[in-house]
Structure 1
Amino acid sequence: MPQNEENQRFEEELGAVLRSAGDGFAVDDRRELVAGGLQRGRRRLVRRRLAVTGGVLALAAVGIGGAYGGSLLGPAGQATTTSVAAPPQQRQSSGTATSGKEPRPEAQILVKDIAAVLKANTPAGQWQFDDLNGTGQHATGVYDDGDGKAGVSIGFYRAGDTAESGTGQVTCPDKAFIPFDSCTTEHLPGGDRLMVIRGYEYADKREETKNWRAVLLTKEGILIDASEYNAAAEKGAPISRENPPFSPAQLKTLVTAEAWRPLIAQLPASPKKLRPDEVRMPAVPSAAAVQSTLRSLLPQGLTVKSHGGGDGHGYVVVDDGKGASMVGIDVQPKSGKIADLFTGDDVVTLPDGTKVKSRQQPGEKGGAGVVWWNVDTLSPQGFRVIVSAFNSGAQYQAATRAEPALTMEQLKAIALSPKWKKLPLK
């Protein structure tokens, strides 16, 4: 493929992923997230493609690097998000990504000032910082208390005008998608919210790198996000200690320190809110409607072990007595301009014009022996339904069976069910 065509295809697929993944971000201006995400996504593609989330959904990390990764992505950049974040409080148009609006510039906070607050609010130890003389709104360094070096990072981001804008960033993830040892959330006096999670850098734990994080959402809508590792770097460094150095209580002390307040006050103001006529996010079925409909369409003989999801998408973990199998669904009543994704020898056009794309391929999130079966459908009116199934109860876990509990024909029957078009939208 010529380089210019490859670049164009990448931007189209990245845009599709970001638009779909945007439902997991609670920010006031989706236009900026998508437009800025395209620029940042190219820059971070290499180092994030095989991150915690695995596969293409790693690009969802263009937001704040939070605990994302619940997507059942289809092949070739197709995305169906089963977000681990809480549903956003409002839905905004993602169709304005090419509005020409420039991404908001970063605050020019002195890294040495960030470093000073880090040192003052963590136990005594030796610090080395990547760029002590630089500016920005984040800092990374290496901390050593004598028990082994540990990578530490902290950043500040504006989720929106109110704390409600970023609730998804302080909501514990779904263990069906992100493994963790513990996760707590807390409403603090004064209106701030806190999440502390002890998890892993890689969902499949192919390396023993632990990632412990604390995220504070202030009542003004500012996110203070700190991460620490039991290695000197997020990736590519050997394990240097059993656990990251700071306990959950110490992480809480760090992100809630009053000394951050003068620094986060330097963050750029929220962009101008969209006018009512610009808020045109396509409506989708409710989470409850999607999950109940999915369960009603399952073949006989399956026991639902767990389920979850959000508006427009959901999943179930089923077992027919032969092992757990995850099945996910994404319903997009107005999918936008994605017809170019429905090309190739694996696409069949039905008599009514509906295109059906079926794929069977290895899993992409590291679970040993996991296979991924996917049926993606698009009607002439742009109504899209994607169904995926795995031979494991979670994509990052080893296969529990040779094949998914549902056949490709059963997945196709679910995706093409007329029930989806009858669901009320919100």
Structure 2
Amino acid sequence: MPSEKPIEAPFEDGLGEALRRTGETFAPPDRAALVDAGLARGRRRVARRRAAVVTGSALALAAVGIGGAYGGGLLGGKQGGDRHGETSVAAPDPAPTGPAPSVDADLVAILAGLLPAGELKNPTTNTSEIPGFRSVRGVFDDGKGDAEISVGLTRADGLQADQQVACPDKVFTAYDDCVESELADGSRLMVFQGYEYPDRREDTKNWRAVLHTSDGFLIDASEYNAPAEKGAEISRADPPLNPAQLQALVTSDDWRGPLNELPAARPPAGGGFGDSADPDGAGIRKTLSSLLPAGLRVRGEGGQEGFAYLVVDDGKGRSYVQINVQPDMWDVVGELFPGATELPDGTLLKTSKNAGEKGVDGIKMWTADTIRPDGLRVVVSAFNAADQKSPATRENPALTMKQLTAIATSEKWLTRP
């Protein structure tokens, strides 16, 4: 089936909140919990579970963001934190159990030392039960307005590292600027200037720099023009560090010590759709294209791990079609598939016809959601518009519910093309 260059639809998506809930609609309700949950396949699996209850958006809508989406950063959560593993190194808890680990103090000292003149207030660090991940965050005060700044460190083992340093697809994420580059040592860098809320309901800016080092580490820095990622009033026009300063922050050799101390992550399991063997969703996209009814032309396409989308046209208007393929989901079947129809092979099926998730009047979203006895979940949705933010282009989606069900239940998802 012929395919044209993906269209750059002029709309914004929440991210993924994947990824970060991999847009806002498929992003997890607790961004902090998502971060604590994951960087290796096991962590991505937790992210899928927390995202799974929302079925209409990409599993992880942004290609960047370790365990999260654009605008979410690596760290998530509220300053001062109450989530597992986060400890304050600025002030002890009311009943402290002992001093913070030296590596945490080291991270705070490194971040403070790399920032311009000013004060790093209320620094906290994250040491989760997941090996191979460390982070530090604080509120930076340079006299021009408090701004949250965070840095996360992880090994790139099992991650789609190239996606972490690739500018996002504009079909999902609107931003002011994004630049990718390769450094002299072979490391790859992405510097992103966007927003915490892609729908701009608040003007909180999120600027990020992500470095994939040539020896297999990821350094992810995020900053905001407010003292907190969410729920805080804007304190300044822009985040405190300009793009050059963000680049200098993530490329500093000062991070080398903490990086080298990170334990190696276990390699992800392979073999099925949705794992790192299909990092850009090409296999899913190919299978989805092969299952389209006759008469549909592909006008745009894209995807990433576990997710793909097509913009199709049957001559009656463009229609956005998206699919998520998630292995090992049976442990949440009770939460995702209450009242589902059981098919002869044991697959559970739920269908729905709802309004679009982005608040655009007239948008229809038709969904077929399935899970097989081995835990493979395939959920496919079609819309009566070329994307989720633009006005409807047609009365109904280009695919009927019967056709969506046929796609979701196809045996083709059992083998990779």
Partner residue in 2 for 1:400: 392
Partner residue in 1 for 2:72: none
State how far apart, in whole Å, the 2-side matches of 1:56 and 1:341 are: 15
Aligned-partner residue type, residue 379 of structure 2: I
Give CA-to-partner distance per residue, 1:377-407, whole Å, 9 cap, x none: 3456666432122345444x35535654433
State how far apart, in whole Å, the 2-side matches of 1:173 and 1:414 are: 27
Partner residue in 2 for 1:283: 272
Do the aligned residues in 2 keep the contact of 1:109 with 1:135 (CA within 8 Å)?
A: no
Deviation at 1:356, TM superposition (A): 1.9
Mark the runs of 5 or more structure 2 residues left unpaired by the alignment: 1-15, 67-83, 88-99, 128-133
Partner residue in 1 for 2:92: none
Partner residue in 1 for 2:381: 388
State how far apart, in whole Å, the 1-side matches of 2:116 and 2:326 are: 49
State how far apart, in whole Å, the 1-side matches of 2:365 and 2:334 are: 22
Deviation at 1:225, TM superposition (A): 1.7
Partner residue in 1 for 2:166: 171
Deviation at 1:227, TM superposition (A): 0.8
Among 237, 242, 247, which residue is 1:242 paired with? 237
Do the aligned residues in 2 keep the contact of 1:185 with 1:195 (CA within 8 Å)?
A: yes
Among 59, 71, 81, which residue is 2:59 paired with? 81
Among 120, 127, 145, which residue is 1:148 paired with? 145
Whose helix proportion is higher, 1 or 2? 1
TM-score (norm 1): 0.65
Mark the runs of 5 or more structure 1 residues left unpaired by the alignment: 1-20, 26-47, 89-102
Q: Structure 1 residues 243, 378: CA separation in 2 closer, same or farther (over 3 Å shift)?
A: same
Q: 231-240 vs 305-314, which deviates more?
A: 305-314
Q: 71-80 vs 191-200, which deviates more?
A: 71-80
Give CA-to-partner distance per residue, 1:120-143, whole Å, 9 cap, x none: 43433x3242147x7864332223
State how far apart, in whole Å, the 2-side matches of 1:122 and 1:381 are: 49
State how far apart, in whole Å, the 2-side matches of 1:50 and 1:80 are: 5
Do the aligned residues in 2 keep the contact of 1:304 with 1:319 (CA within 8 Å)?
A: yes
Q: Structure 1 residues 173, 72: CA separation in 2 closer, same or farther (over 3 Å shift)?
A: farther
Partner residue in 2 for 1:223: 218
The secondary structure found in structure 1 opposite 2:193 is: strand
Aligned-partner residue type, residue 145 of structure 2: G
TM-score (norm 2): 0.66
Q: Structure 1 residues 78, 381: CA separation in 2 closer, same or farther (over 3 Å shift)?
A: farther
Deviation at 1:314, TM superposition (A): 1.8
Partner residue in 2 for 1:97: none
Q: Structure 1 residues 288, 192: CA separation in 2 closer, same or farther (over 3 Å shift)?
A: closer
Do the aligned residues in 1 keep the contact of 2:273 with 2:413 (CA within 8 Å)?
A: no
Where do residues 85-124 of structure 1 align in structure 2 (5 Å cutoff)? 85=63, 108-109=101-102, 113-124=106-117
Identity of aligned residues (%): 41
Are 2:155 and 1:158 equivalent residues in the alignment?
yes
Deviation at 1:282, TM superposition (A): 4.1
Do the aligned residues in 2 keep the contact of 1:110 with 1:135 (CA within 8 Å)?
A: no
Do the aligned residues in 2 keep the contact of 1:82 with 1:309 (CA within 8 Å)?
A: no
Q: Structure 1 residues 170, 71: CA separation in 2 closer, same or farther (over 3 Å shift)?
A: farther
Deviation at 1:357, TM superposition (A): 0.9
Are 2:116 and 1:127 equivalent residues in the alignment?
no
Deviation at 1:234, TM superposition (A): 0.7
Alignment root-mean-square deviation, CA:
4.4
State how far apart, in whole Å, the 2-side matches of 1:419 and 1:192 are: 37
State how far apart, in whole Å, the 2-side matches of 1:381 and 1:157 are: 31
Partner residue in 1 for 2:263: 269
State how far apart, in whole Å, the 2-side matches of 1:82 and 1:180 are: 17
The secondary structure found in structure 1 opposite 2:300 is: strand
Deviation at 1:410, TM superposition (A): 2.9
Give CA-to-partner distance per residue, 1:296-325, whole Å, 9 cap, x none: 443456543311124664211235577654
Where do residues 343-382 of structure 1 align in structure 2 (5 Å cutoff)? 343-345=337-339, 347-351=340-344, 353-364=346-357, 366-369=358-361, 371-379=364-372
Partner residue in 1 for 2:11: none
The secondary structure found in structure 1 opposite 2:406 is: helix
Q: Structure 1 residues 181, 406: CA separation in 2 closer, same or farther (over 3 Å shift)?
A: farther
Partner residue in 1 for 2:321: 327
Instruction: Kindly tell me the number of residue pairs found equivalent between the two proteins.
Output: 349
The secondary structure found in structure 2 opposite 1:195 is: strand
Among 246, 256, 259, which residue is 1:251 paired with? 246
State how far apart, in whole Å, the 2-side matches of 1:50 and 1:309 are: 11
Do the aligned residues in 2 keep the contact of 1:356 with 1:375 (CA within 8 Å)?
A: yes
Aligned-partner residue type, residue 227 of structure 1: S
Deviation at 1:210, TM superposition (A): 1.1
